[in-house]
Structure formats: structure tokens, C-alpha cells
């Protein structure tokens, strides 16, 4: 009986164990087949790989105020090396490169490939000279140089290491030679020229961060037949890319205004990356391209490329659509701009020719540069900005080195960055302040005695006394402006004081930003504040009377002078100068933004003051120094000449500013010619601009 009970317990335990095992296996099956289905499905290795390509957004185009295209896009094919699908072996990478270049040569498009200029390679030997990076003026040269130094450091090479030693290490790294071993020396895989080319190219690829996510452009602007041939050859690791280049429809004109694009500058990396730009993005570097980058750039799209295990593309689709940038319309009238640039160049040549024919020293024979600005009086719109000498944006990249070395500095925008003593054009603002403050009235008479002797230590003379030993006699403010009497304004400046004078001139726009969207100098408004801030010593009473005739420390840009005169014409209201007219959608033309006049500052002129001043400026062009320019001119014009001494061995700068028409001013034009000698002689370009603006056949 006990024996039967023992067997029963054994069977029971075995049965329980069997049931337990069944439950465990059942649970595992449930987990594998039902609950764990998503996990195991996700764990299966996909036979495909996915990579992502950037679809560059089309950059917005730039137009003048009338809708004439100034900068447009043209499209071309580039061929990129794609790090995600290139063979892994270094020698195989070289084979891909050589195959593509061979196809280009066979199709007669070898010039689509240009050897990068970043590192200059001494190969195979240069008598121990160090392999080094040489700057070539590229936008990211500094960053590439830094990466090159890091590469040498990672390879345990000194920057001044022997060139042959350095080249040997790098060639082994890139599969140009076989690896050196104890039993066998390194063997060159190519002829010397091919090896040198590959070494330079492979270094450049690495310095520019070539990888699965950063392609490298090998061929640029290739034909569609060549593109087809390469893509059909079955070579792995190449990808076609359509790129847009900027085309300037008026080559050589408006270059300082439009500016150019390029890769992100080193100093701008933080700014653009904070906005989500990739490091290899093309952005505006200068001019309108830079100023209106936020409108022009657009948003890049993305293409997803699916490849099988052998690198064959099995699918490709746009996973994010690119968004084109907006079109920007400038306030510039391109026809007026062309006239301004040509008239300025002709005016400079005219001054030089007349000076050389006269044989008189320092009469303008050394004139070689200048600027002209035109502003809409009623809106603050900039209609033209000319700077001479200038350059051609369409050939800028090829000529940048020569342009930078040119002593005449053609890249320098004199209209916005050149600062000049205003000469007698400054007297208009002094008169406006003095009349409004009651320091003088329109009928106040001051006798010009030739030498101003109020101060014992500083006794300047009027220009007419210096030249002819005579005086202007008893004159009022209108006549003083007409004949540009220094003596009259010495006395007015002393009575007015520098603080009051500067309060008005600052409101008119002198020594402060004009508001234009491009980079500009703010100039210098002479006074004790400027002297103290720059550690230039004390301000003396004699400095005030010198400042009153546009001398002392006064320095202003041509655009500031145009804005200043426009402010007086607007009865003391200064409008912000601006270059942007409107922004529209790229494809639809829908209006996104439109600029309207903005008041930047205001100082109310006294009753009748504006009329006194415009009448005086009209007398300059009718009976004064500029009468020979506008004799029998069909439109009444007001203006003011200025001549500013530079140094004793150079001709004086010539300044002329004018507005038209007299009864309802629409436009102010200012021309400054460096070493132009006589203010009136800067007026020929101004007259030519008026002729174009008012459609005069003169």
C-alpha cells in the first residue's frame, strides 16, 4: 500500500512538472508571436539603406523699382561625390574619381574639373620644403587651414614636417600608395601627375568634411550628355545635382549695391547656424544679397534615396519640398543708375583733361575717384548710388585678387563708406539753425572784412580775400550762400555755438546713420563730444568757426549729404533712407512686404526759413558759382557747391549737391569727386542725372 502511494506521488510530480514546462513554452510562444511581434519585426535588419540629400531652395531674384531684373538665377548640372554610396576602400574611391574624370575628358569637358587651390602640394619632392596650406582668398579659407593643421596633428606630423615625409603619409592614407611594411616598401599606384592630382583632391575632400552627409562637388556646369554617360556607367558614389548660379543682367553696373553670394564666412557661422542654415549653405556676403538675405534665401528641401545592399538606387522621393526665396524689388532705377555711373566716370575724366590742358598745378589733374547719390525727397528712397572706380560682379571671382590690390580700391563703396569734408555745402544747415534760433534774420547784414579777427589766436580769412585780396562787403544770408562767404558764417557760427549747430545738423542727418539697409559709415559731426570720445584734445572756440564752414573734424558720406539737404527741403523732417521697395512671392508675385516713408527725426524750421534757404540755393545755380552749369536749363534747380582742402600736395575735393524742380523738389543729387579741385566742376554728373530723371533732351 505504501509502495502504491509512493508511485502515485512520483507520477503527480512528473505531471506537475510537465504541465509547468508546457505553460512556460506556451507563454514564450505567446510573447514571441503576439506580444513581441513589433519588437522582433523592428529587429530584422532591413536589406535597404536610406540616405538624404538636400534640395537647395531657389534663391529669390532682385529687381529694380520698375520690375527690371537685376540678378536672376541660371541652372546648371554639377556632379557630386556621395560619401554614403562610394566604395569603402580608398583605392576604389580613387578609381571612381578617375573614371568620372576620364568620361569628362572623353566628352571634351575636362574644364568642368578644376584642381582645388586650398593646399598647394609639393610633389614628389621639393628639397625638404614643408607641405603646407596656402590661403587663396576663399571665403572659408581660415576654417580649412585650421582643419589642415588638425589633420597633420592627428597623423602625428608637425606643421613644418618635411614635405616628402608628409606626402608619403597622406598618400598611404588615401590609397595612392600601398601600405609600407617590414617586408615591402610602399608602392606608387599611379604616375606622378595622377598621384599629385589625387593627393591634392583627396586632401581637399577631407578638409571640406566630405562624408555620407556632406557631398563633394567634383564637376561643375556639365552638359546633360556627360551627366547621362556618367550615371549610366554604373559607377558607384556619384550623384547629379542641379544648381543655380546668379546672373547679373547689367554686368558692371550697380555692383556695389547688389553684392554677391558665397559660403558662410567664419565670423558668421554662429549667426547662420542659429537660424538653421547648414554650414555649406550659400548666403549673401555683401550688398543687397546680404541685406535682404532673410527674404532671398528660402528653405531647403530634402530628397530620400533608397539603396540596396549593392549600392543600387531602388527608390528616390522628395520627403520635404523646398520653398523658394522671395523676390526683392529695390528703390533703384537701373536706367538712372547706369547714367549716374557713366556720368560720374565722365565727370572725373573731364576734370583731369581740363586740368592737364590748363597746365595749372593742383587743378584736378590728380582726380581719380568719386561718388554720386540720388534720393527721392518725398519718400527717402535711394534712386542711385554710384561709386568710381567700380567693378564687374560677373567677373568678380576671377578678378578678386587684382581688385583687392588695386590702389584705387574699386571694391570700396565711396557712396556709403567714403567720408569727406562737406565744404560749403555745410553752410545751408548752419543758416537753417541760425535763422530758426533767431541768431540772424533774412535781413541781417554782416560785413565781410576779409580776415576774421574776433579771436587773437585763430584768425582765418574768407576765400575771396585769400585769392584776390578783396571782400564780399556787406551781405545778408542769401548772398552769403550764393557767393559762399566764409566770413559771414564764421560770425554766424560763433553766435550760434557748436552745441546748437550740432543739434540741428544731427537732426538733418549728419553724423548719424541714414537708415539704408546696406553697411554704411556714420561719419563725424565735429564738436566737443567727438573730441572727448576719441581722446583728441580740447575743443576751442576757433574750432567752432572752422566747423561752421564745413571744416574742422566734419566728415560725411555722399548719401548723408543728400539726406541732409532733403531734410531741409522737407522743412526739417528727415526721412529714413532706404533701398528696399517691396518683397513678393517668387512664383505668384503676391505682395509680402512694401516699404513706406518713415520719419527718422524732426526739427521744425522757423516760419519762412525753408523758403529763404531754397531761394538762396536757387541763386547759386542762376547767378552764383554753378550758373554756368544750368544756364538756360529747362527746369529750375537749387544747389550748393563745396570745395574741401585735403592736403597741400593734392587738389581739393569737389562737392556739388542740388535738387529739382525748384517749386516742388522731387530729387536730391550729390556728387563728390576726390581731388576734383572745384565744387562747380562736380556738377556735370549731377546735371546728367537730372536730364535722365526728368527725361530732358539736352
Mutual orientation of helices 486-496 and 498-508 as an angle, nearest 10°? 100
**C-alpha span between 266 and 283 (Å, rounded):** 12
Contact 308, 360 (CB under 8 A): no
Task: Give the pLDDT of residue 436.
Answer: 98
Task: Give the pLDDT of residue 409.
Answer: 97
**C-alpha span between 398 and 539 (Å, rounded):** 49
The 10 Å Cβ neighbour count of residue 357 is 10
548-568 per-position pLDDT tens digit: 999 999 999 999 999 999 999
Contact 324, 587 (CB under 8 A): yes
Task: Give the pLDDT of residue 14.
Answer: 72
Task: Give the pLDDT of residue 12.
Answer: 67
User: Is the overall model pTM greater than 0.85, yes or no?
Assistant: no
**C-alpha span between 536 and 530 (Å, rounded):** 8
Q: Shortest CA distance to 545 belongs to which of 481, 483, 498?
A: 498
64-73, 212-221, 431-440: the lowest-pLDDT one: 212-221
- DSSP helix, strand, coil percent of the chain (3-state; round to 5): 40, 20, 40
3-state SS, residue 673 = strand
The 10 Å Cβ neighbour count of residue 13 is 10
Across residues 327-349, what is the average pLDDT? 98
Residue 45's pLDDT band, with cuts at 50, 70 and 90, is: low
Task: Give the pLDDT of residue 265.
Answer: 84
Asked if pLDDT for residue 125 goes beyond 60, the answer is no
Asked if pLDDT for residue 6 goes beyond 90, the answer is no
Residue 182's pLDDT band, with cuts at 50, 70 and 90, is: low
Asked if pLDDT for residue 634 goes beyond 50, the answer is yes
**C-alpha span between 428 and 639 (Å, rounded):** 10
Asked if pLDDT for residue 133 goes beyond 70, the answer is no
Domains observed in the chain: 423-509+522-556 (3.40.710.10)
Task: Give the pLDDT of residue 132.
Answer: 42
Distances in whole angstroms, Cα of residue 67 to Cα of each of 61, 223, 294, 335, 537 = 11, 32, 20, 12, 52
Grid cell 523699382 is found at 65
Distances in whole angstroms, Cα of residue 610 to Cα of each of 443, 446, 560, 568 = 15, 21, 19, 7
> Across 498-598, where does the E strand assignment appear?
573-575, 580-584, 591-594
Asked if pLDDT for residue 9 goes beyond 70, the answer is no
**C-alpha span between 412 and 521 (Å, rounded):** 12
69-87 per-position pLDDT tens digit: 999 998 888 889 988 888 8
5-14, 427-436, 645-654: the lowest-pLDDT one: 5-14
Across residues 195-222, what is the average pLDDT? 85
- Exposure string over 289-320, b if 16+ CB within 10 A, otherwise e: bbbbbebbbbebbebebebeeeeeeeeeeeee
Asked if pLDDT for residue 262 goes beyond 90, the answer is no
Q: Is the peptide bond before 526 cis (omega within 30 degrees of 0)?
A: no
Residue 28's pLDDT band, with cuts at 50, 70 and 90, is: low
Output 549 or 121, whichever has higher pLDDT. 549
Task: Give the pLDDT of residue 143.
Answer: 57
Distances in whole angstroms, Cα of residue 285 to Cα of each of 262, 432, 574, 579 = 6, 41, 30, 17
> Across 197-346, where does the E strand assignment appear?
216-222, 238-248, 261-263, 282-284, 301-307, 313-320, 327-330
Task: Give the pLDDT of residue 644.
Answer: 95
Across residues 11-35, what is the average pLDDT? 66
3-state SS, residue 550 = coil
Across residues 368-392, what is the average pLDDT? 98
Asked if pLDDT for residue 21 goes beyond 60, the answer is yes
Distances in whole angstroms, Cα of residue 239 to Cα of each of 37, 216, 230, 321 = 38, 10, 9, 19
Across residues 147-159, what is the average pLDDT? 78
Cell digits for 431? 543758416
Task: Give the pLDDT of residue 141.
Answer: 52
For residue 30, what is the enclosing H or E element?
Answer: helix 2-30
Cell digits for 429? 544747415
Residue 577's pLDDT band, with cuts at 50, 70 and 90, is: very high
**At residue 661, what are phi and psi to the nearest 5 degrees?**
-75, 165
394-447 per-position pLDDT tens digit: 999 889 989 999 999 999 999 999 999 999 999 999 999 999 999 999 999 999
Report the percentage of the chain scoring pLDDT > 90. 63
Calculate the average pLDDT of the chain: 88
Distances in whole angstroms, Cα of residue 497 to Cα of each of 86, 487, 517 = 76, 16, 34
**C-alpha span between 304 and 320 (Å, rounded):** 9
Distances in whole angstroms, Cα of residue 183 to Cα of each of 180, 529, 666 = 8, 79, 87
Task: Give the pLDDT of residue 106.
Answer: 92
Task: Give the pLDDT of residue 535.
Answer: 92
Asked if pLDDT for residue 134 goes beyond 80, the answer is no
Asked if pLDDT for residue 686 goes beyond 50, the answer is yes
* Sequence-ordered alpha helix ranges (H) in 444-522: 463-468, 477-483, 486-496, 498-508
Report the percentage of the chain scoring pLDDT > 70. 88
Asked if pLDDT for residue 541 goes beyond 90, the answer is yes
DSSP state of 299: B
Amino acid at each position: 500500500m505504501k509502495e502504491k502511494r509512493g508511485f502515485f506521488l512520483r507520477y503527480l510530480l512528473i505531471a506537475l512538472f510537465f504541465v509547468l514546462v508546457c505553460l512556460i513554452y506556451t507563454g514564450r510562444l505567446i510573447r514571441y508571436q503576439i506580444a513581441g511581434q513589433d519588437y522582433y519585426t523592428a529587429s530584422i535588419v532591413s536589406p535597404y539603406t536610406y540616405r538624404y540629400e538636400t534640395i537647395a531652395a531657389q534663391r529669390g531674384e532682385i529687381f529694380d523699382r520698375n520690375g527690371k531684373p537685376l540678378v536672376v538665377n541660371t541652372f546648371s548640372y554639377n556632379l557630386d561625390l556621395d560619401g554614403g554610396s562610394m566604395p569603402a576602400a580608398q583605392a576604389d574611391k580613387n578609381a571612381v574619381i578617375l573614371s568620372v574624370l576620364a568620361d569628362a575628358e572623353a566628352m571634351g569637358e575636362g574644364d568642368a574639373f578644376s584642381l582645388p587651390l586650398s593646399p598647394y602640394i609639393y610633389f614628389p619632392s621639393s628639397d625638404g620644403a614643408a607641405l603646407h596650406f596656402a590661403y587663396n582668398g576663399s571665403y572659408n579659407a581660415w576654417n580649412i587651414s585650421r582643419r589642415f593643421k588638425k589633420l597633420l596633428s592627428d597623423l602625428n606630423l608637425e606643421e613644418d614636417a618635411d614635405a616628402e615625409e608628409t606626402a608619403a603619409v597622406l598618400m598611404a592614407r588615401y590609397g595612392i600608395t600601398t601600405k609600407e611594411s617590414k617586408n615591402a616598401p610602399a608602392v606608387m599606384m599611379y604616375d606622378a601627375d595622377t598621384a599629385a592630382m589625387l593627393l591634392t583632391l583627396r586632401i581637399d575632400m577631407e578638409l571640406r568634411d566630405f562624408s555620407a552627409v556632406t557631398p563633394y562637388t567634383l564637376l561643375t556646369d556639365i552638359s546633360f550628355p556627360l551627366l547621362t554617360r556618367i550615371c549610366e556607367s554604373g559607377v558607384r558614389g556619384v550623384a547629379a545635382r542641379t544648381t543655380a548660379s546668379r546672373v547679373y543682367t547689367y554686368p558692371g553696373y550697380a555692383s556695389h549695391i547688389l553684392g554677391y553670394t558665397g559660403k558662410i564666412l567664419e565670423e558668421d557661422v554662429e549667426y547662420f547656424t542659429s537660424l538653421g542654415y547648414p554650414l555649406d549653405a550659400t548666403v549673401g556676403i555683401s550688398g543687397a544679397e546680404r541685406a535682404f538675405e532673410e527674404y532671398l534665401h528660402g528653405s531647403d528641401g530634402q530628397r530620400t534615396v533608397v539603396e540596396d545592399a549593392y549600392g543600387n538606387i531602388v527608390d528616390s522621393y522628395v520627403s520635404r519640398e523646398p520653398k523658394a526665396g522671395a523676390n526683392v524689388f529695390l528703390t533703384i532705377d537701373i536706367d538712372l543708375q547706369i547714367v549716374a555711373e557713366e556720368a560720374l566716370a565722365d565727370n572725373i575724366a573731364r576734370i583731369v583733361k581740363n586740368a592737364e590742358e590748363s597746365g595749372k598745378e593742383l587743378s584736378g589733374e590728380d582726380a581719380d575717384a568719386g561718388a554720386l547719390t540720388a534720393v527721392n525727397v518725398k519718400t527717402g528712397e535711394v534712386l542711385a548710388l554710384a561709386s568710381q572706380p567700380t567693378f564687374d560682379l560677373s567677373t568678380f571671382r576671377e578678378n578678386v585678387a587684382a581688385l583687392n590690390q588695386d590702389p584705387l580700391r574699386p571694391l570700396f563703396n565711396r557712396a556709403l563708406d567714403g567720408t569727406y569734408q562737406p565744404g560749403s555745402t555745410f553752410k545751408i544747415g548752419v543758416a537753417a539753425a541760425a535763422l530758426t534760433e533767431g541768431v540772424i534774420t533774412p535781413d541781417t547784414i554782416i560785413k565781410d572784412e576779409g580776415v576774421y579777427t574776433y579771436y587773437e589766436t585763430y584768425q582765418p580769412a574768407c576765400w575771396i580775400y585769400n585769392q584776390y585780396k578783396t571782400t564780399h562787403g556787406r551781405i545778408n544770408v542769401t548772398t552769403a550762400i550764393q557767393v559762399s562767404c566764409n566770413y559771414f558764417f564764421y560770425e554766424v557760427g560763433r553766435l550760434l555755438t557748436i552745441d546748437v549747430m550740432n543739434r540741428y545738423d544731427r537732426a538733418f542727418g549728419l553724423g548719424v546713420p541714414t537708415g539704408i539697409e546696406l553697411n554704411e559709415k556714420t561719419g563725424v559731426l565735429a564738436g566737443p563730444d567727438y573730441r572727448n570720445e576719441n581722446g583728441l584734445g580740447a575743443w576751442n572756440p576757433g574750432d567752432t568757426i572752422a566747423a561752421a564752414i564745413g571744416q574742422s573734424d566734419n566728415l560725411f558720406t555722399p548719401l548723408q549729404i543728400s539726406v541732409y539737404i532733403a531734410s531741409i527741403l522737407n522743412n526739417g523732417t528727415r526721412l529714413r533712407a532706404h533701398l528696399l521697395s517691396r518683397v513678393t512671392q517668387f512664383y505668384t508675385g503676391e505682395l509680402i512686404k512694401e516699404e513706406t516713408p518713415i520719419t527718422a527725426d524732426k526739427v521744425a524750421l522757423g516760419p519762412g526759413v525753408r523758403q529763404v534757404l531754397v531761394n538762396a540755393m536757387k541763386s547759386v545755380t542762376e547767378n552764383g558759382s554753378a550758373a554756368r552749369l544750368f544756364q538756360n536749363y529747362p527746369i529750375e534747380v537749387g544747389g550748393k557747391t563745396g570745395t574741401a582742402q585735403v592736403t597741400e600736395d593734392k587738389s581739393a575735393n569737389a562737392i556739388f549737391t542740388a535738387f529739382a524742380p525748384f517749386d516742388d523738389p522731387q530729387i536730391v543729387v550729390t556728387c563728390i569727386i576726390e581731388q576734383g579741385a572745384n565744387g562747380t566742376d562736380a556738377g556735370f554728373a549731377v546735371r546728367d542725372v537730372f536730364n535722365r530723371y526728368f527725361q530732358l533732351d539736352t
